[in-house]
Structure 1
């Protein structure tokens, strides 16, 4: 395996590294993702135990089958994570936003944006 040059490393970093674009800070995302997954799992367990409680008592084929159908018929809650924006998209957004705000430095920021887009392989944008 050959060594990567610094421009190759930078390009790969822009394409593969991710930034949180949900609007929360990093700490709250780290805490809220496990918390929301736990809430979903807890709700699933509660719903299943409620359905199974109806089948307790004297063994009865009809009640057992009804409880099983109730369990299988309900859709389970699933909490999924999604990827944030790539570092290249994030830097583009940040530079465009900054160029729109600062009138005197617009030319310098547009040049920086052009360099980022060139590194990402889309200079015509």
Structure 2
């Protein structure tokens, strides 16, 4: 049989819970380039550091030179970068409403009532 239809209220609650928004603070379109760029630079630096250390260990192979090169290579923590996960839409909406209330820009109705209404809509319905 088919799945039951969801009411508009259930759809809204699911949207608030599952939809995500970029809240990092930069243009979300620029993330397409900046994520790739941010992943690329630490890898490049790590490769460069390893090649510099290994280049210094060239020449006649002996245990002392090899051990010293390995120790220098392992002494530095490799650089890394991680993505931030996007925030759920409900949290983003609540934060923007809270900011409006704090700045006194929410003139239509009580801002705290709007925040409570969003929280109530965020309750995820039984699927």
Do the two structures share a fold, i.e. TM-score over 0.5? yes
SS at match of 1:106: coil
SS at match of 2:24: coil
TM (normalized to structure 2)?
Answer: 0.79
* Corresponding residue pairs, total: 119
Q: Larger relative contact order (C-alpha < 8 A, sep ≥ 6)?
A: 2
SS at match of 2:29: helix
Q: 4+ residue runs of structure 1 moved beyond 4 angstroms? A: 1-4
Name the residue aligned to 2:6.
5
- Does the CA-based 8 Å contact 1:54-1:63 persist in structure 2? no
Name the residue aligned to 1:36.
38
Alpha-carbon distance in structure 1 between the residues aligned to 2:5 and 2:53: 57
TM (normalized to structure 1)?
Answer: 0.80
- Does the CA-based 8 Å contact 2:50-2:73 persist in structure 1? yes
Runs of 5+ consecutive residues of structure 1 not aligned to the other structure: none
After TM superposition, give the deviation of residue 56 of structure 1 in Å: 1.1
CA RMSD of aligned residues (A): 2.1
Post-superposition Cα deviations, 1:27-79, rounded to whole Å, max 9, x if no partner, equal 12222121111111111110111111111112222111111111122211110
Runs of 5+ consecutive residues of structure 2 not aligned to the other structure: none
Larger helix fraction of residues: 1
Aligned residue runs from structure 1 range 102-117, under 5 A: 102-103=106-107, 105-107=108-110, 110-117=112-119
Aligned residue runs from structure 1 range 1-125, under 5 A: 2-3=3-4, 5-6=6-7, 7-99=9-101, 100-103=104-107, 105-107=108-110, 110-121=112-123
SS at match of 1:64: helix
